[in-house]
Structure 1
Amino acid sequence: MEKGLFDDDGELEGWRKKLQGLVPAEGVQVKHIRTGEGVHVSRRIVAVFIMMTMADFCDQLFGFQDLLFDNANGRLEFSGNNFGALWPGDGKPGLWLNSISRMGAVYTLIAREEEIFIQERKRKVGVAVVPDLERNEDIELVLPPVFDYCRKVLEAGDQIVARDLYWEAVCEGGSKAEELLLESIEKNPFVGEPYVVLSQVYLTEGRFEEAEKHAERGLKLLLEWGCPWDKRTSWEGWVAWTRVLLMRARDKSWPQTSWGILNLGLVN
């Protein structure tokens, strides 16, 4: 049993106190968006809204929104008002990862304590408990695999440094590409595209084992996200290209001409 899971003297662990101060166990009261009437929202529904917001941000946001809201610090606080920003901007990956990693941490703690509540009731009655429908306990809070199952928070500063290193590598390339991409991955290991680009660097140099390793990691992360971080091409495009890299790495072959690169393809 996890240490501190049940505390008979009524004292809660520190993280549970903080969580209940942020999202009370009984849920929250909000105003209806149209009528202004009070609406009670259970904590599990709050968690669902958090998860849907994470999904919305990662699907929609890229560098343009950073310009629009002056997101220079990478915390995505929507504090700026640069309504003259021109779409689509320079196409850089957006600085939204810190924001949704913090959301994911809250989501994970909610899911964790909701399970504790059920186990506490089960402990008292000694048998399986019926889900409390008023608390929406029939809704399962599934942990997504991103950010190590939402157990890690990517610091805003690391996010910015990693994005800029990646951008320099893919836009300028050259002999520094490997170093730049490795540094980018060290700062932000949670997205797939830097691994994919690094895999191509290794393929070009004939370093097939390293290429395979990084293509596998990049593909795994892309599939976990279900959307691209670098939105200059589609998620499907990234997945298809990574599969090409992985296949070539396993075959230990890579084109040595520009026409050979152009003719790369993958037939299912």
Structure 2
Amino acid sequence: TGEDVALSRRVAATFLMMTMADFSDQLFDWQDRLFNNANGRLEFRGNTWTSLWPGTGKPGLWTTSISRMGVLYSLIVREEEIYIAHRAHTTGKEGDDSATRDEDIALVIPPVFDGCTKVLDADDQKAARDLYWEAVCSDEEATDRCKVEELLRQSVAKNPFVGEPRLVLAQMCLNAEMYEEAQEQAEEGLKLLLEWGSSWDKRMPWEGWVSWGRAMLTKAKEKDWPHTSFGILSLGLVK
């Protein structure tokens, strides 16, 4: 109807958090094509409705947008805490407006983006995605390991908030028998994946990435990585 709808801060914050979760779970490069999101700002300005699903499967450019949402969410949480503390100090009690302010809704800050304190630059987001894509789609991992490894390191440096580039880098380290760094990268990659609860590279489901990361972490700790194709294929076997 076009009428304004008044919402409490907590309800607005909940919608914001649900949008963050929805974007992280659903978006990949097909939506970038639909809305011409070449600049990575996710402004929904385009209308390429003929874009063919599922696209290339490349990770989407959504992390900058929800990093901004996360900072806004954490600001609302902080303002709510200040308001309640001030009210208790001035009235000596919680006050009578708690019900109308939906204070029964808990606001929990998720761990992503360092507890929703960091904003990822849109250009860094895109550069990190493209570096990662070049690395994982390259045919040079066997002939030019150093090049692929450097692409992954640059990707991680540009966007340290997603786990998949670290897991691919962990495998590169395992291939080179660099077990200590492989363990570090696998641990950090798994931590990030578990914080998100969804995958950034959606060519594989979140559960698949977690399982692969755990398998690599186990082998890194054991300092034992297969050097045959059947050995790699058998990593999921239960001993």
Quote the offset at 1:39 in angstroms. Answer: 3.1
* 1:254 corresponds to: 225
- The AA in structure 2 aligned to 1:231 is K
What RMSD, in angstroms, separates the aligned Cα atoms of the two structures? 1.5
Where 1:134 maps in the other structure, the secondary structure is coil
Question: Do structure 1's residue 108 and structure 2's residue 74 form an aligned pair?
Answer: yes
Distance in 1 (CA, whole Å) between partners of 2:126 and 2:186 is 23
Flag the structure with more relative contact order, 1 or 2, with Cα contacts below 8 A and sequence separation at least 6: 2
Q: Which runs of 5+ in 2 are unaligned?
A: none
TM-score where L is the length of structure 2: 0.94
Higher-Rg structure is: 1
- Give the aligned partner of residue 19 of structure 2: 53
> What's 1:74 paired with?
40
Residues 171 and 136 of structure 1: CA distance in aligned 2, closer, same or farther (over 3 Å): same
Distance 1:39 1:127 in 2: 29
Taking the aligned partners of 2:73 and 2:238, their CA distance within structure 1 comes to 40
| Cross-structure match for 2:197 | 226
CA distance in 2, matches of 1:260, 1:266: 10
Structure 1 counterpart of 2:178 = 207
Deviation at 1:125, TM superposition (A): 2.6
* CA–CA distance in structure 2, aligned partners of residues 61 and 108 of structure 1: 23
Amino acid at match of 2:201: D
Q: Percent identity?
A: 62
1:147 aligns with 2:113: yes
Give me the TM-score of the superposition, normalised by structure 1: 0.84
Partner AA of 1:218 in structure 2: G
Q: Give the aligned partner of residue 83 of structure 1.
A: 49
CA distance in 2, matches of 1:160, 1:36: 36
Aligned length: 234
* Equivalent pair of 2:84/2:94 in contact (CA under 8 Å): no
Partner of 2:236: 265
Q: Which residue of 1 aligns with 2:156?
A: 185
Higher mean alpha-carbon deviation, 72-81 vs 256-265, is at 256-265
Per-residue displacement from partner, 1:119-141 (whole Å, max 9, x unpaired)?
Answer: 10111134555671101112111
Q: Measure, in 2, the Cα distance between the counterparts of 1:196 and 1:162.
A: 15
